[in-house]
Amino acid sequence: MSGRPGWVTRRLVYGLPGWMTAMAYLFLLAPIVILVAFSFNEARSTVVFTGFTLDWYREVFADRNIARALRVSLIVAAASAGLATLIGALAAVAITRRRFPGRTLLATGLAAPLVLPEIVLGVGLLVFMSFSGIRLGYGSMIVGHVLVTIPFATLIIRAAAASLDPRIEDAAADLGADEWQTFTRVTLPQLAPAIFAAFLLSATLSFDNLVMSTFTSGVGTTTLPLRIYSMLKLGITPEINALGALMVVANIGIVLIVMGRYLPLMLNKPRPVEPERKN
Amino acid sequence: MTVEGLGAQHCAPMAPKSGAAAATPAVELLAVTKRFGNMVAVDGIDLAVREGEFFTLLGASGCGKTTTLRLIAGFELPTGGHIRIGGQDVSEEPAYRRPVHTVFQSYALFPHLTVSENVAFPLRIRRLAAEERRRRVLAALDLVQMSGLQDRRPAQLSGGQQQRVALARALVNEPKVLLLDEPLGALDLKLRKEMQTELKHMQKRLGITFVFVTHDQEEALAMSDRIALMHEGRIVQVDDPTGLYNAPVNRYAAAFIGETNLLSATIDGGDDATLRVRWLGHHVVLNRPAGAAPSGQAVTLAIRPEQIVRAPSPEEERAGGLAVDGVLTESVFIGTDLRLIYRVETGETLICRVQNRAAATPEPGERARLLLPRGALRCLTS
């Protein structure tokens, strides 16, 4: 009966990781659940739930300013993610496959925006733009977003490129493929899932970005987060809740697409090749 | 100019070319050196692989055999020397312009392509028509007995099957020379033996020159027409399997291939053609090897365990050789053979190998007279 730790103690100790996980999820997800719930609230108040309505969604879709901001956000996200992924992919292949002077510098430089405060990058870019007389607008914002997203794009593709077996490229060359054919027919297809993931992550990061957009947006290029932020100055309205709920759904959709593309690949991963026997 | 003249002109360059092709080595290495930083991987080797030959680069790991193969394939460029393939100097050519294909130890199949797409890859690069491509892919898969698995991905195949696909992919283009980098290294013993026979037959049937890399001496002896034994980036000996086994040129070659008794002996006279060698106070007269000093030089006598005669007849002893008395210290049963370890006069050991005949299994402690026949002894100076 005695000598062993008590039932309660054991339950607490062994249950602790589970409880902590549950609490973490609660704190993470509860605000989102509340936001979605109140987007269907009839009353203008964000404290008391009075009844179900879809009016706020109707209002979001009717709001011309929101529609314009969404369009700006999508254009900037697509353009900056495309650029970041392109540069990231080429840089990743160069860094993992080639030996050239400044290779480490390039690798560090591309990852640097990760550790630099975004606000400093934003101010710096703004100063640079006004110094060189560049008008703020799509161009400046896309450059800013590429700066913010390129570390992520590069890191994802670099990890994939580093895990490729260099002998597979040797094999392509051996079978008569020149460097361009080897790249397009062998290297690129193997990197495709990582490039796709890098693009989606960059696009999502760009779509959510507030700080960089604040410094680089010009007249007529207000993004959705900027729009929401300015709406908030007039108080939290159920319209913002509805907009937030729509963005959550869109983001979950993207995550599902990524997983749908990645999961089969992960489950069907080729077995690791034998350790190479180097003479 | 007559029509016949034109015809002769057309034919003329062809005739000497085909005549010369027989003499031109399929692959030729001239003083090829490869350095990686301070490390010399390949140290000025000369090599000529004949056309249609099964040629093996054999050696322990780190001897430079794989680097040599990679130099021929073009994955590495030599630091010095020249490489010729079919008479053409390809020393500076990139891998994709060399008329050789490689079978990799890790197979290196393209993971994103199916079996038939893998095999079709070199044909696609050469922009062959779809019809021709399909025909040749099927023929190649048929050759390696892999028809029926065309639509699988490499990840869905066993090691042996991946091996066969890699072989089909390397053969589909009908290369003049096929390079194989320890292709059987990852297979289990039984499958490896089967593939050895199959590869050998395939090579003879297709008449393609094979350059095969292995660290497995049995594999090398079983498959090769000729073997180059490598050590520390250099070639120790190039010979056919029997030559390499029966007539090793130095201690390293003698010890690397099979089992050998290496006996420290001294030169004790002789003339231009012969050599008197002393071992444990016994003398034997052997043919003089190149580089042997007249007298007093320490040499090594090498003899294979199966060539030592136990309890020789008087006639056998009269034929010449070294005869000593030994005490059996250990007898090891290894299936078809018995491995007998004798201690002789000064404590040196002699390993002796006899066929296993159920009737006579000698017991440790047994004394025996051992004859090292003159013809089986090799005098090694290095």
Q: Per-residue confidence at B269, pLDDT binned at 50, 70, 90?
A: confident
Q: What percent of chain B has pLDDT over 70?
A: 91
Asked if the structure places residue A201 within a domain, the reply is: yes
Tell me, yes or no, whether A180 and A87 share the same domain: yes
Neighbours of B87 (CB within 10 A): 13
User: Average pLDDT for residues B165-187, to the nearest whole number?
Assistant: 90
Cβ of B106 and A273 within 8 Å?
Answer: yes
Asked if the structure places residue A264 within a domain, the reply is: no
Q: What percent of chain B has pLDDT over 90?
A: 41
User: Average pLDDT for residues B179-198, to the nearest whole number?
Assistant: 88
Tell me, yes or no, whether A102 and A186 share the same domain: yes
Q: Say what the pLDDT of residue B114 is.
A: 92
Tell me, yes or no, whether A131 and A106 share the same domain: yes
Q: Is residue B20's pLDDT more than 50? A: no
- Scanning B2-41 for CB atoms below 8 A from A yields 41
Cβ of B75 and A276 within 8 Å?
Answer: no
Asked if the structure places residue A266 within a domain, the reply is: no
Residue B19: C-alpha distances to residues B13, B14, B24, B153, B206 (Å): 10, 9, 9, 45, 20
How many whole angstroms separate alpha carbon A192 and alpha carbon A160?
A: 10
Tell me, yes or no, whether A42 and A161 share the same domain: no
Tell me, yes or no, whether A86 and A218 share the same domain: yes
Q: Per-residue confidence at A16, pLDDT binned at 50, 70, 90?
A: confident
Sequence length of chain A is 279
Q: Say what the pLDDT of residue B178 is.
A: 94
B183 inside 8 A of chain A by CB: no
B250 inside 8 A of chain A by CB: no
Q: Say what the pLDDT of residue B13 is.
A: 37
Q: Say what the pLDDT of residue B258 is.
A: 86
Q: Say what the pLDDT of residue B177 is.
A: 93
How many whole angstroms separate alpha carbon B266 and alpha carbon B298?
A: 4
Q: Is residue A73's pLDDT more than 90? A: yes
Q: Is residue A264's pLDDT more than 80? A: no
Asked if the structure places residue A11 within a domain, the reply is: no
Tell me, yes or no, whether A159 and A53 share the same domain: no
Maximum average pLDDT range among A57-66, B180-189, B203-212: B203-212
Alpha helices in B47-148 (DSSP H): 65-73, 115-125, 130-143
Cβ of B74 and A173 within 8 Å?
Answer: yes
DSSP A113: G
| pLDDT, tens digit (0-9, with 9 covering 90-100), for A161-219 | 988 888 899 999 999 999 899 999 999 999 998 999 899 889 989 998 999 999 988 88
Residue A229: strand pairing partners: none
Domain count, chain A: 2
User: Average pLDDT for residues B308-334, to the nearest whole number?
Assistant: 85
3-state secondary structure (DSSP) of residue A220: coil
The residues, any chain, with a CB within 8 Å of residue B219's CB and separated by 6 or more, are B184, B192, B196
Tell me the nearest-neighbour CA distance from B43 into chain A, angstroms: 14
Give which of B107, B113, B214 is closest to A273, Cα–Cα. Answer: B107
Asked if the structure places residue A20 within a domain, the reply is: no
Cβ atoms of residues B249 and B289 within 8 Å: no
Q: Which run of H or of E encompasses A249?
A: helix A238-267
Q: Per-residue confidence at A109, pLDDT binned at 50, 70, 90?
A: confident
Q: Say what the pLDDT of residue A3 is.
A: 57
Residues in B closer than 8 angstroms to A167, CB to CB, are 104, 106, 108
DSSP B246: H
Domain's final residue, options A172, A199, A222? A222
| pLDDT, tens digit (0-9, with 9 covering 90-100), for B273-300 | 788 888 887 888 887 766 666 677 788 8
3-state secondary structure (DSSP) of residue A148: helix
Tell me, yes or no, whether A80 and A203 share the same domain: yes
Mean pLDDT of chain A: 85
Residues in B closer than 8 angstroms to A192, CB to CB, are 112
Tell me, yes or no, whether A86 and A161 share the same domain: yes
The residues, any chain, with a CB within 8 Å of residue A182's CB and separated by 6 or more, are A169, A172, A173, B96
Residue B229: C-alpha distances to residues A177, B60, B357 (Å): 32, 9, 34
A26 phi and psi angles, rounded to 5 deg: -60, -50
Q: Say what the pLDDT of residue B294 is.
A: 64
Q: How close are the terminal C-alpha atoms of chain A, in Å?
A: 65
Asked if the structure places residue A156 within a domain, the reply is: yes
Q: Is residue A267's pLDDT more than 70? A: no
ipTM of the complex model: 0.75
Domain's final residue, options A222, A247, A268? A222
Strand locations in A194-247 (E): none
Asked if the structure places residue A230 within a domain, the reply is: no
User: Average pLDDT for residues A115-142, to the nearest whole number?
Assistant: 89
3-state secondary structure (DSSP) of residue B341: strand
Q: Which run of H or of E encompasses B54?
A: strand B54-58
Q: Is residue B9's pLDDT more than 70? A: no
| pLDDT, tens digit (0-9, with 9 covering 90-100), for A197-213 | 899 889 989 998 999 99
B112 inside 8 A of chain A by CB: yes
Q: Per-residue confidence at B5, pLDDT binned at 50, 70, 90?
A: very low
Going by DSSP bridges, is the β-strand pair B209-214/B177-181 parallel, antiparallel, or unpaired? parallel
How many whole angstroms separate alpha carbon B80 and alpha carbon B82?
A: 7
Tell me, yes or no, whether A73 and A53 share the same domain: no
Which of A10-19, A95-104, B149-158 has the lowest average pLDDT? A10-19
Left, alpha or beta for B145 (phi > 0: left; psi -120 to 50: alpha)?
A: left
Q: Is residue A98's pLDDT more than 60? A: yes
Q: Say what the pLDDT of residue B4 is.
A: 37
Which CATH number goes with the domain that contains A132? Answer: 1.10.3720.10
Q: Say what the pLDDT of residue A278 is.
A: 41
Domain that holds residue A129: 68-222
Tell me the nearest-neighbour CA distance from B113 into chain A, angstroms: 9
Tell me, yes or no, whether A34 and A100 share the same domain: no
Tell me, yes or no, whether A123 and A186 share the same domain: yes
Asked if the structure places residue A270 within a domain, the reply is: no
Tell me, yes or no, whether A124 and A212 share the same domain: yes
- pLDDT: which is higher, B183 or A279: B183
Q: Say what the pLDDT of residue A145 is.
A: 94
* Cα dihedral B156/B161/B166/B171 (nearest 10): -130
